[in-house]
Structure 1
Amino acid sequence: MSINYRISICIVITVLITQLSGCAGQQTRTKSSVVDYLYPKESNIVVQPSIPTLNIPIKVGIAFVPEQSPRSRGINLWSGVVGGGALTEANKTDLLNKVADNFRVHDFVSDIEVIPSAYLTAGGGFANLEQIKTMYGIDLIALVSYDQVQFTDEGLLSLTYWTLVGAYFVSGEKNDTSTMLDTAVYDIQSKSLLFRAPGTSNVKGRSTPINLSEELRRDSIKSFEDATTNMISNLTVQLEKFKDKIKKNPEQVKVVHAEGYTGGGAMGPFETTIMILLAGVLYCSRRMKI
């Protein structure tokens, strides 16, 4: 075996090892932040929350805050940049509707508006919320943010990728998608945070290198959906805690009921029925005495 042939073999092996090691441990992160949206670093405005006044029934808006640019690390030799991509507007609307349904069941909510992401500007802060309040006539807004990390690693099966058949049919890519969603409910007028609820999810999957991006997109959406389900459960708990907080500390939140409102703190249907029955019994007893 000639020296030149041996050198050529060594170069090929080195290139293959480099490519294999370069494809391992690829990560993509997409996120948005309520803090960055409401309190941008470049703003000199000092936000001073005041005691919120809740006019019951209230009108609520719900929206995703603007996301930051996705950050990727690593290139897959077969499918390019790793990552399932950020949520589309259609995905956001579907998830927000699920969260909105959780608010609609409460009688103290008169209406809830799903607000398109285009109406929220990056770093817009409370000035942007005031615009949305005027546009939609809302009192509160539920701001949804997220942080999703997708990590792809190659198992031993990835060694078969160097045959065309292996690249198409061998699921050597191990995918891990972790998601955290967070809903923060603010009273726009007072700039006060009322309550918040997180939701988490972790999805594990496998894929071939050829359909890696497609599988990651599917894992991304599933992880968002699972995190939304978890967050809705936590929202129910946090909402009940907030109602208890109002009862125990009325000085922290002022509640004003609209004229004719019969839900929440006033008499509900059950209490109204009992009062009617009691009135009927009282009337009959008086008639019997006569």
Structure 2
Amino acid sequence: MKITSSLIDKLIRLRSGESLPSSALRGEWVEELLSDGVLISRSHGSRSCIIAASPETLEQSLMHINERLGHLDKMKETLDAETTRSEQAAETGNSKLVTARSCPGFPVNSYEPIICCLNGKELVVNPQEGTFLFIADWHSFAIPDDVTVVNIENMENFRLIRRQQSLFASALAGKRLLFVSRYPQSSDLRTWLQTIPNQYVHFGDFDLAGIHIFLTEFQKHLGARASFLIPQDIEQRIKHGSAERYNDQYPKYCHLTSNIQPLQQLIDTLHKYHRCYDQEGYIENSLTEHHLI
């Protein structure tokens, strides 16, 4: 994402309650905000526009995507005036506001102890329930080769892994699991995944945008060691899922396909019922049969 004065202007307009043409904002981060309900897509004949569900939610979500977007008004002033680094420091307390991220990395979680290595020293990942760890020095973070990395797209699911333990135990029986998330939004997690040999499992929403994220942002780079979690009962859940979300995503992803048969079957199921299903629906459910592609 390139932060420009034009982008900041658009985000300020959304924060103010205005609508923008859907073509005005592009990118995976926009799709995520739409998927999470932070942005809402509305159709007007052959045209569509986007609005913010609420100013507060938009600002909070933008901060998670990129900390520089958490101060839209200051960013607007800084970009328009092309202030010097000293002026940035005086106005925001951060002379690197425009040029550097102060919090690189990604969070990790586990419900059993996993002995890892950080900066050459042993690190046991076993957060107390209600907490998780954040790996800032991710370049020096190493995990055992037999650990399966599970990327959870939704932060609520990531925080509440113990309330989904039966799901993971069934789908990945006998495997040691390290849960990760790519929030705040950056390429750090994917870059780290490319440097390790571990098996990767993607657990996201069961919709066209979620499948597209897996195929283009992870499977494309990780190859055959990347898989997508597909519960056995997903068809029954999709029957009662969101038709509005499906209709919003269909124009952009109607031609989405995969040469991975179980994933193509999932795509076909979404088209069959014209609905999709959020991964949060698996929190606190006792499920017994799941499989991976």
Same fold (TM over 0.5): no
Q: Which has the higher strand share?
A: 1
Higher relative contact order (CA 8 A, sep 6+): 1
- Normalised by the size of structure 2, how large is the TM-score? 0.21
- Normalised by the size of structure 1, how large is the TM-score? 0.21
Which of the pair has more CA radius of gyration? 1
